[in-house]
Structures are given as structure tokens and as C-alpha cells.
Amino acid sequence: MYSVDSLEYAVRHLFQGGIGEHGYSEEEVETLLHGIDFEALLQAVRHNAQTVHAYTTDGKAPMSFNYRGRDLFGQRATRLYEDNDQSCASIVLTDRTYELWLLEDMDLVAVACVSLDCGDGEYVTEYREIKEGDPWDSPMYLDLDELVDEINAMCAAYYESDIPLYEL
């Protein structure tokens, strides 16, 4: 499951999908890939893996109705990227985002997420739905430069010894 080769293959395949009609050249993609430390990323991915639920509710108040729906992927996953698609802010903050998740089996999955935030995190509910197929074919705007920045930020905890070292 967790292997550097599998991770690098998945990320490389994703980045190569951006060549051509998605606006990236082969040289740009190779330069971006060269900036990723896959061993550090694997450690960070392992540390940040979580069970992702199709629907959740969370409240900070005592006796809040906290709920978890079905397991969305059937395995744990780590969110690598988020594209904010729409927001509406009033008493309730409502967002629709597209997320890129790396599953434990090293598959990459695009997900649509709608969230409602009442009272600055006092009560939050989220609904997620898998967008089938290649992430490049989803409605997500995938910016590879931003993705590399997110990956490198995730790796910082590993470099600073803020996360444990996992035997993988």
C-alpha cells in the first residue's frame, strides 16, 4: 500500500495528465515533479491519512449532534488539494469545493464537497460525493503549481520532525 514507487507513479501520472490541453508543457511538468520529495511526501501522507465520510456533522456545544455517514472510499485517504468553487457568506458560510484525495492504495480521486459552517465553526456539516474518472475530467480546476506548494507544505512537518517516522 504505502510505497514510494506507487506514490511517485500516481503523482507522475496525474501531472502528466496536465500536459497539452490543460496548459502544461512536458518541461514544466518535469520541473514541478523534480521539486517533490516523494519519501517525505509518503511519510506525510501516511501521517495525515483519515477515514473520509460521505456526510458529517460536528458541533462544539455540549450534546451537539455529531454524526458520521458511510465511509466514502472504503479505505483511509489524505487530501492533497482543494479548489474553492463557490462560497456564500452570511450568517451561515456555505462552500462548494473540489478536493483531490490520495487513497491508501495510491489511487487519486476527485471529490465534490459542500459544507455549511454556522457560527465560525460552532456547527459544521459536510457532504462529499466522488467525481468518477480522471481528476482532470472533473469540474476541479487543478493548478499543478499550487498542488506542489500544498505537497511541500505537507512535507514540512516531516522535515521539522513534527510527525513520527513511519516504517513503511
What is the spatial distance between Cα 129 and Cα 13, in angstroms, rounded to a whole number?
23
Query: With 0-12 CB in 10 A as exposed, 13-18 as middle and 19+ as buried, what is 124?
Result: middle
> What pLDDT does residue 71 have?
98
What is the spatial distance between Cα 127 and Cα 16, in angstroms, rounded to a whole number?
30
Kindly report the length of the chain: 168
> What pLDDT does residue 23 have?
93
> What pLDDT does residue 90 have?
82
Question: HSE-up of 1 (CA within 13 Å, CB side)?
Answer: 13
Low-confidence ranges of the chain (pLDDT < 70): none
> What pLDDT does residue 55 have?
98
- Treating both helix axes as pointing N-terminal to C-terminal, what angle do 26-34 and 144-159 enclose, rounded to 10 degrees? 10
> What pLDDT does residue 6 have?
97
Instruction: Tell the residue number behind the cell numbers 465553526, with chain if given.
Output: 121
Q: What is the pTM of this model?
A: 0.94
Cell numbers for 29: 511538468
Q: Kindly list the strands in the beta sheet with 55-59, ordered across the sheet, starting from the edge strand earlier in the chain.
A: 67-68, 55-59, 123-131, 108-118, 92-103, 77-89
